[in-house]
Amino acid sequence: MASKHQCLLYLAFFILSIWANQGLGRKLHETSMSEMHEQWMAQHGRVYKDAVEKAQRLKIFKENVEFIESFNNGAEKPYKLSINEFADLTNDEFRTSRNGFRASVVRPMRTTPFMYENVTAVPSTMDWRKKGAVTPIKNQGECGCCWAFSAVAATEGITQLTTGKLISLSEQELVDCDTSGEDQGCEGGLMDDAFDFIQHNRGLTTEVNYPYTGEDGTCNTKKSTNHAADINGHEDVPANSEKALLNAVANQPVSVAIDASGSAFQFYSSGVFTGDCGTELDHGVTAIGYGATSDGTKYWLVKNSWGTGWGEEGYIMMQRDVDSPEGLCGIAMMASYPTA
Ligand SMILES: *[C@@H]1O[C@H](CO)[C@@H](O)[C@H](O)[C@H]1NC(C)=O
């Protein structure tokens, strides 16, 4: 009897911890996986077309819950996972719909000047949000245009630093109008090509003027000539040097490409992410600062574009100064920033 009660209690704690993460911990009873799935569907407004699809999604949901549980209860890691709005997607489905950095078609890195090459002193921590250079977290939805969100966040940053004005800029303009280079809207693109577009278009309009739809659309040329921010060009951070990346991020928000392909990344919830991940770059995000935890773990502060329900209110801390020159998940491989 005692062991059965312990087991139930354990199950109750597990469910409570998941629900507490979701702010749903009010009514607690012994909940089966399918009831948990129902709750989750209601919370995220998920509707399935029929019972067959629902059963398939429940199976994936269950596998994800079990993965998250065993991760959180397994060997001590400096970060935690939690159920989020992506809990009924397999990792393959998730990657296909969200990650749109076209690393497979990447040309060799051009050699650009690096204006921060001689920077010697940088602050020990940086958080560009505190300097007013970061707009609220956005959500790309089921469109692989992370590259646009990454380039826009870096452009919003340099614009605030040079003009003092924080203006939310348009990703949709890039999705619809920027067909230069490798950029193909929801099918993926590159931040450097987006910077080229913004430069040659002589600016980018505001989010308000050209709002996000999450779908490929026809370029609204009238809106796209109504510029709110301008850049002179862009520079690449010398590859495979976290030191060089630090010099850049100390001075402005920087677009970075990462390998965000793992299930741990899909369900990251808090703490310093330490992998596992490879270096097959498939996602564009923005490094908006850096620091170290009280126990000395150094991290990059990274803005993602998956809404505030993912990670730490939409942000992730990724381990910094790792052994390999590429950086964790390849973060130091293809970083770049717009110039004013
Ligand atoms: C960095 O210093 C070197 C040597 O003084 C100089 O040639 C180079 O132009 C400097 N780079 C920048 C970006 O100022």
Q: What three-state secondary structure class fits 81?
A: strand
Please give the distance, rounded to the nearest whole angstrom, from the Cα atom of residue 113 to the centre of ligand 1.
10
Confidence band of 32 (pLDDT split at 50, 70, 90): confident
Confidence band of 100 (pLDDT split at 50, 70, 90): confident
**For residue 116, which atom of ligand 1 is closest to its CA?**
13
Catalytic entry in 143, 145, 146, 177: 146
Contact by Cβ (8 Å): 135, 269 = no
Is 304 catalytic? The answer is: yes
Please give the distance, rounded to the nearest whole angstrom, from the Cα atom of residue 120 to the centre of ligand 1.
12
pLDDT at position 1, please?
36
Residue whose CA is at the smallest distance from ligand 1 atom 2: 118
Average pLDDT over residues 308-326: 97
Annotation: CATH topology of 91-339: Cathepsin B; Chain A (3.90.70)
Please give the distance, rounded to the nearest whole angstrom, from the Cα atom of residue 270 to the centre of ligand 1.
40
By C-alpha distance, which of 137, 109, 132, 157 is closest to 255? 157
pTM of the model: 0.89
Is 283 catalytic? The answer is: yes
Average pLDDT over residues 30-46: 89
pLDDT tens-place string over residues 195-219:
999 999 999 999 999 999 999 999 9
By C-alpha distance, which of 173, 128, 190 is closest to 335? 190
Average pLDDT over residues 145-174: 97
295, pLDDT greater than 70: yes
Q: What mean pLDDT, rounded, does the chain reach?
A: 89
Average pLDDT over residues 147-151: 97
pLDDT at position 159, please?
98
Task: Give the lowest-confidence range in 5-14, 17-26, 326-335.
Answer: 5-14
Q: Which residues line ligand 1 (CB under 6 A)?
A: 115, 117-118
Task: Give the lowest-confidence range in 61-65, 91-95, 284-288.
Answer: 91-95
Is 247 catalytic? The answer is: no
Q: DSSP assignment of 248-298, as one string?
A: HHTTS-EEEEE---SHHHHTEEEEEE-----S---EEEEEEEEEE-TT--E
**For residue 118, which atom of ligand 1 is closest to its CA?**
1
pLDDT tens-place string over residues 221-251:
999 888 999 999 999 999 999 999 999 999 9
33, pLDDT greater than 70: yes
